[in-house]
A and B are shown apart, each in its own frame.
Chain A
Amino acid sequence: MAGLATAFSVVSEPVTSGAAAIAAPYLSLVGLTKRFGSAVVVRDVNLDVPRGELLCILGPSGCGKTTLLRLIAGFEAADSGSIRQAGSEISALPPEARDFGIVFQSYALFPNRSAARNIGFGLETLPLSRTERTARIRELLALVGLEGHADKYPSQLSGGQQQRVALARALALSPGLLLLDEPLSALDANVRASLRDELRQLQRRIGITSIMVTHDQQEALSIADRVVVMNAGRIEQIGTPAELYQRPANLFVARFLGEVNALPVTSISGNIVQAGGHAFRLGGSPVPGGSAGYLCFRPSAVRIGMEAAGGAAGTRGRVSSMAFLGDRLRLEIQPEIQNGGPFVAEIPFPRFGNPPGLGDHVTVSVEPDQLFLLDDHG
C-alpha cells in the first residue's frame, strides 16, 4: 500500500517496518484469491514486501499460508489478483520462468546426487565451464558451512546438513526471492534453533528478499523483520514481531502468538473496564465506551503477592492449580468474587520470597499498560 503511493509522490511516507523499505516494494500481491473447488483457500490477500526483507507468514495448519507461498512460486495458479516481482507482473508465468529459489520442509534433495551435485543441479543448463561451475558449487558449500561434505549423498547427511544443502541449492541461481516452506519443522529442537539463527544471518549477509512460511510463532517472532498472521485464508495482521505481540489486532492474533487471558467485557466507563467480574484500570487515554469485546492480558503480566500496583485493585484469589515449567510457575487463579472467571498467571521461578502453594490465597494485579481490549476479529 505504502509502496504504490510513494512511487508517484515526492514526499516519502514514514517507514513502519523493521527493514529499510525502498521506494517500490520488491514483491507486491494485490487481491490474490485461490479456490479449491468451493473452498476459498486464499482470500483477497494484499501484501507488499520490500527488497531485502525477511517476512514470515504465520498461521495454523490449513490457514492457506503454504498455498500463498505456492501461488508466489507459480506451483498453483491464482483465480484472481496480481503478483508483481521487481516491477513486472508474474502471475501468468510458469514456475520455471519466475525468479525464485525454494526450500521445502522435506528438504526434497535428489537422493541419487551428492551434496555438490544437488547444489549444481540448476547450474547444469547454464553456459558455464566446468571450472566455473565447480567454483560456484564450492562457494555455495562454503556459504552454508558444508565444505567437507561435498561428496556425501543425502542419506549420509543429518537433517540439519540436508537442509543446508537444500538452502545452497535454492541460492545456486542467485534468485531475487527466496521462498522457505516450513524449512525447520522437520528438525530436532536444538538443530532447529541453531539453524534458524544461521538462516537469519545468511539472509542478512546476502540481503535476499525472503518469505518463510511457518506455524511456529516463536520461530516467526525470533527471525522475521515482519510477520503476516493468516487465518482461514485471510491476513489477520501484518507487523513487526514486537507490534504483533504487544498490540495484536484481534483475539485470534493474540491467542496465536501465545497464551492470553481474555475476559468478556461487561462495561466500560472512562478507563475503568468491568470484565469477568473484575474491575480493571487501563493505562493511557480513556477508551470510547460501548464497544463490547474482551479484556486481554498475558499470563506473564500478572503480578502475584502483596503489590497492588493498579489493574485489578484489591482482587483476591485462590491458587486452584499449579504447574512447574522450569524457569516459571504456571498458576491458575480462581477469584474469590461471585461469578469471577478464572485466569492464568505465570511468575518467574525461582523468585524473591516463597512461591505460593496450591490452595494459597493471593492478591492479584495486572500492570495497566499490559492490558488491551480486543474483539474476535479486527
Chain B
Amino acid sequence: MAEISAVSGMAARQVRPDPTGQIVPPVLLVVLATATLLPIGALLVRAFLGKDGAFVGLDNFLRYGAEPGLVIAAWNSLSLSMIATVIAMALAFPFAYALVRTAMPGRGIFRLIALLPLLAPSLLPAFGMVYLFGNQGWLKGWLLGESLYGPVGIVIASVFYVFPHAVLILSAGLSAGDQRHYEAARALRAGPWRRFVTVTLPSCRYAAISAASIAFILIFTDFGIPSVVGGSTNVLATDIYKLVIGRFDFEMGAVVGVLLLLPAVVAYGIDWLARKSQRAMITGKSVPIRAERLPLRDLMLFLFATLVAVAILGIIGMAIFGSLVKFWPYNLSLGLQNYERLFTDADEFRALGNSLILAFGTALAGTGLVALSGWLIARKLGNGMVRNGLQGVAMMPVAVPGLVLGLGYVFFFNNPANPLHALQGSLALIILCTVAHFYTVPHLMVVNELLRLDREIDLAAQALRIGPAGTARRIHAPVLLPTLIDVAGYFFVNAMTTVSALIFLFTAQTRPASIAVINLVEGSRIGQASAFAVVIMALSMVAAAIQLTLRHLVIRAQGWRRQTA
C-alpha cells in the first residue's frame, strides 16, 4: 500500500444481511393474488355451482342458452364491438399516421385533442351525442330516421371512446420504424405509394393488431355507453348488471362474466403476441424515422384530422353546453343549476367526495404496490418462482374486464367464510378493486423504467456492501421518481372515470361520482348527469396538469438527467 491509505473502521464493521429479497416478494404475492387471482377464481367457480352451492356442471350455461334474449345480447356485444373496432381503426390509423409520419401543421394540438377523451368518463361522448342526435337533438336528421338509442348510438359512442387508445398505440408503432428501410426503398426507386405499401404497412401491422385488440376489449366490456344510448338493445355488459342487481341470479351473472372474460382473454392474447413480434422488429440499431414532406398528402390529412378534431371537440363541447342549458331543448338559456345540485344535494356531494377519496387512495396504494412489484421483478430480487408468480398476477388484470373483476369481488368478499369479509361495502375494498383493475399498465411502466438501469449497478452496490433496500433508496427511487408521478396520475384519472368494476361494489355511503352519473341517467336527468361528467373531466384535467408540472419540476431538479458530454 504505497500511496493509498486503508479505511479505518473497516475491520470492525459487521455485515448486516438484508432480508428484503426474502420477505417482501411472498407478502406482496399474497396481497396481489387476493386482489386479482382469488376473486376471478371465485367467479369462475360460481359459474359451475347451483343456488345451493353444489356443483352443477354446465347447467348454468345451458340455462343461459335457453333464454333467447340473453343469447341475442351476446351476439349484439360481439357484432357491435367488431363494427365499432373496424370504424375506430379506419379513423385512428390515418390520424396517427398524420401525427407521426407527416409534416402536417398543428400535430401537437391534434394529438392533444385526440387524447382529450381519455380524461373523461366513457359516457361523456354519449351525452354529447344525446344532445346532437337524440330524440330532441339538433342534428337528429343526420341519422336518416334511425334512432340513436340502439346499435347506432352504441357504435358511434364506442368509436369516440376507443379512438384515443387506438391513436396512442398506432402512433407508437408508426414512430418506431427504421429510416434506413425508406432510404433502401428509395435507392430501389420506389415511389411514395409503393414505399407506404411495402415498408410502412408491414412495419406497423403488429401495432395495428394490438390497437384493434385493445379497442375490441374496451368496447366489448364497457358498461357506460350501452346504459346511456343502448335503448332496448341488450349487450352482455348491461345484461350482467341486470341479472345480478335486478334478478339476483348470481350464477347466471357468473356465466355472463365467463362469456365476457373469454373474448377479452383471446383478444389480449393476440395483443400480447403482436407486441412480442413488434419488439422483435425493432433493433437497438434502428435509425429513427424522419417525417417526409409531401404537400398534397399532408394537406389531405390535415383536412381529415381537422374533421376528426372538430367532431371530438363538438361532441365534448356539446356535452358541456348541454350541462349548462336550463331546460333542453325548450329553454336554451345558460345557467349553472345543473352544477348547483351537485353541491347542494347531500348524496351527490358525497359522491364527489367519495370519488376524490377513491382517486387519491388508488393513486397512493396503487403507486406504492406497483413500485414494489415492478422493482422486485426488474431488479430480480428473491426467489425466481415467487417472482414469476408476481409477474403473472400483475399481468392478469389487463385481460380481465372490470365487470368480471367487480363481480368476482362480490363472490369472494361477500363470502362470510372469508376473513376479509369485513371489507365488504367499504371504500377500502373499492380502492383495492380499482388498483387491481388498472394494475398492469403502471406495473409495466415501472418494470421498463427500472430495466433501463444496468443490472450490474446493483452488483456494484452489493460489492460495496449496500443491500437491495439501501440501493433502492439511494439509486432506484430517484431514477424512478418521474415514472412514479406518471403512475400516480394514471391511477388517479382512471379511478375518477371508471364505472365497470364498481357497479357491483358501491353502497349508498360509498357511491363514487362516476356511478352517480349512471344513476342520474337512469333517472332521465341527462343535464345533471352531463354536469357531473364534466366535473369529473375537469378534475381529471387538473390532475393531469399537476402530474405534468410535477414531473417537469422533478426532472429539472435532477441535474444528473441533463446530457452535456
Contact = CB atoms under 8 A, between A and B. Distances in A.
Nearest to B562: A155
A108 B474 contact: no
Interface stretch (A118-126, A253-261, A353-361): A118-126
Interface in B531-565: 558-565
B4 A171 contact: yes
A170 interface: yes
Contacts of B465: 96, 122, 125, 173
Contacts of B5: 136, 139, 174
Interface residues of B, number: 41
Given A96-B15, A173-B10, A206-B1, A113 B560 contact: yes
A166 B457 CA distance: 11
Contact of A155 (B463, B475, B565): B565
Contact of B559 (A97, A104, A153, A157): A153
Interface in B1-45: 1-10, 12-13, 15, 17-18
A106 B456 contact: yes
Interface string A126-137: 111000100010
B453 interface: yes
Contacts, number: 124
Contact of B456 (A108, A136, A157, A205): A108
Given A96-B462, A108-B457, A121-B474, A174 B3 contact: no
Interface in B467-481: 467, 470, 474-475, 478-479
B565 A158 contact: yes
B562 A205 contact: no
Interface in A57-116: 73, 75, 94-97, 100-102, 104, 106, 108-114
A214 B151 CA distance: 68
Contacts of A155: 560-565
Nearest to B457: A108
A126 B17 contact: no
Contacts of B562: 153, 155-156
B464 A122 contact: yes
Contacts of B466: 96, 121-122, 124-125
Given A96-B465, A110-B474, A139 B460 contact: no
Interface size, A (range): 35 or more
B461 interface: yes
A75 B1 CA distance: 27
Say what secondary structure dominates the interface of chain B: loop
A174 B6 contact: yes
Interface in A264-311: none
Contacts of A121: 461, 464, 466, 474
A111, A136, A173 — which one has the most chain B CB atoms within 10 A of its CB? A111
B454 interface: yes
Contacts of A114: 560
A153 B474 CA distance: 15
Contact of A207 (B2, B7, B479): B2
A195 interface: no
A96 B9 contact: no
Given A111-B453, A113-B560, A172 B8 contact: no
B560 A112 contact: yes
B464 A173 contact: yes
B459 interface: yes
A22 interface: no
Contacts of A127: 9, 12-13
Contacts of B474: 110, 113, 121
Contacts of B7: 123, 126, 128, 136, 172-174
A157 B565 contact: yes
A76 to B, nearest CB: 11
B560 A154 contact: yes
Nearest to B478: A112
A94 B3 contact: no
Nearest to A93: B15
Interface in A166-213: 166, 169-174, 205-207
A329 interface: no
Contacts of A207: 1-2
A174 to B, nearest CB: 4
B3 A206 contact: yes
Contacts of A111: 453, 479, 560
Contacts of A166: 460
A30 interface: no
A206 B2 CA distance: 5
Contact of A206 (B4, B8, B460): B4
Interface in B456-512: 456-457, 459-467, 470, 474-475, 478-479
Contact of B467 (A96, A104, A108, A109): A96
A97 B3 CA distance: 26
Contacts of A100: 463
A256 B4 CA distance: 37
Contacts of B13: 125-127
A104 B479 contact: no
Contacts of B560: 111-114, 153-155
Contacts of A112: 475, 478-479, 558, 560
Contacts of A128: 7-9
A110 B565 contact: no
Interface in B401-447: none
Contacts of A109: 457
B502 to A, nearest CB: 39
A247 B10 CA distance: 44
18 contacts: A75-B459, A75-B462, A94-B15, A95-B463, A96-B15, A97-B15, A104-B456, A106-B456, A112-B558, A114-B560, A126-B9, A126-B10, A136-B5, A136-B7, A153-B560, A154-B560, A166-B460, A206-B3
Given A106-B454, A174-B7, 13 more contacts: A112-B478, A112-B558, A121-B466, A127-B12, A136-B5, A153-B559, A155-B561, A169-B464, A171-B4, A173-B464, A174-B4, A206-B4, A207-B1
Interface of A: 73, 75, 94-97, 100-102, 104, 106, 108-114, 121-128, 132, 136, 139-140, 143, 153-158, 166, 169-174, 205-207
Q: Which 10 residue pairs are nearest across A and B when measured between Cβ atoms?
A: A122-B464, A108-B456, A153-B560, A174-B6, A104-B456, A108-B460, A112-B478, A96-B465, A97-B15, A102-B463
